[in-house]
Amino acid sequence: MKKAFLFPGQGAQVVGMGKDIYEKYEEARKIYDKASEILGIDIKKLCFEGPEEELNKTENTQIAILVTSLAILEVLKSKGIEAEIACGLSLGEYCALIYSGIISFEDGISLIKKRGYYMGNLIPDEEYSMAAVIGLDSGKIEEICKELKDFGKFIVPANYNCSTQTVVSGVKEAVEEAMEKLKEAGAKRVIPLKTSGPFHTEKLIEAKKAYEKELENITFNIEKSNVKVIKNLDGTYYNSDDNIKEILAKHIISSVRFDRAIKLMQEEGVEEYIEIGPGRTLTGFVRKDNKEAKTYNINSLESLEKYLEEENV
């Protein structure tokens, strides 16, 4: 059965994530401890104890989710569970890149700490918000965002999650106005999100510039990888001709095309989708566009052991 590993992005965090798996599995403990050593901070304390306000800071959230996802992944790998395809949502793409071997564990950990810091701090001093738009064609959403933007109100589609859900991002006033217009245009629901930064928009251009300098010193090993990794940028696979440094920098200011990733995995004949890390959002997106998909969420000791039992390992 063809498998794909899916890795969550920012917003999936919850205090206590990974604790029960850490306590049972040595493989998970090694990941948390190794990451803490690289970063000089106690990642497990942040994940297991919070406080929530600290965990929700972008500079902490990204690294905490990354390490938790990688710790669970390490347990699966130790049991012989592998996937031919991997992808993630925003920061989750780094889990996929580390899993594939395109980026080393050490480099991935260091990069995400810097990425989270820049994305959380190098932004214009305005009030921002994001909202998920459900049940409205993305073309109509783009049209409404453009109308507002033409009037100097900054808002753009940031995440194309699946065919029935798109996330818009911008200054708070513009998002609030857009929410009303989107409902009038026929959206089934428009839900404000707890993530408040202008992520995946041009407002993060300074973060992109700073991050480019971090990427200069990184070595990528795409030729050695046997895993196909899907890019958020356009929903295609990474290949040996890609300028990965340019892609990862551009990723910060570009829309996430998870909808295209779902379509590609379906075309590739993926039958089993395994979301690894906190939350259960990505498999929800997959099921919206692929009713036949067999999905799993591995985000706790109970869900991990249930999956392992089903796989007879």
Instruction: Say if residues 278 and 14 touch (Cβ distance below 8 Å).
Output: yes
| Per-residue model confidence as pLDDT tens for the chain (313 residues) | 899 999 999 989 999 999 999 999 999 999 999 999 999 999 999 999 999 999 999 999 999 999 999 999 999 999 999 999 999 999 999 999 999 999 999 999 999 999 999 999 999 999 999 999 999 999 999 999 999 999 999 999 999 999 999 999 999 999 999 999 999 999 999 999 877 689 999 999 999 999 999 999 999 999 888 999 999 999 999 999 999 999 999 999 999 999 999 999 999 999 999 999 999 999 999 999 999 999 999 999 999 999 999 999 8
175's CB contacts (< 8 A; 6+ apart) are 128, 129, 130, 131, 155, 168, 169, 192
Catalytic annotation present for 90 = yes
Instruction: Say if residues 313 and 305 touch (Cβ distance below 8 Å).
Output: no
Enclosing H/E stretch for 165: strand 165-171
pLDDT of residue 182: 98
Task: Tell me the C-alpha distance between 309 and 311, whole Å.
Answer: 5
* Catalytic-labelled residue, pool 200, 225, 254, 255: 200
> Is the pTM above the cut of 0.85?
yes
Q: Which of 56, 106, 238, 39 is nearest to 17 (CA)?
A: 56
* Catalytic-labelled residue, pool 69, 90, 138, 255: 90
pLDDT of residue 296: 98
Task: Tell me the C-alpha distance between 73 and 65, whole Å.
Answer: 12
User: What is the CATH code of the structural domain delimited by 3-122+203-310?
Assistant: 3.40.366.10
85-88: strand order across its sheet: 228-229, 85-88, 3-7, 272-276, 294-298
H-helix segments, the chain: 19-24, 26-39, 43-49, 52-55, 58-78, 92-100, 105-121, 138-150, 172-184, 205-215, 244-251, 258-267, 281-289, 301-310
User: What is the CATH code of the structural domain delimited by 128-196?
Assistant: 3.30.70.250
Task: Tell me the C-alpha distance between 27 and 98, whole Å.
Answer: 16
- What is the radius of gyration, based on Cα positions, of the chain? 19
235's CB contacts (< 8 A; 6+ apart) are 257, 258, 259, 260, 261, 263, 264
CA dihedral of residues 74, 251, 196, 282 (deg, nearest 10): -50
Q: Which of 294, 289, 258 is nearest to 273 (CA)?
A: 294
3-class SS at 86? strand
- What is the 8-class DSSP label of residue 241? T
Domain ranges in the chain are 3-122+203-310, 128-196
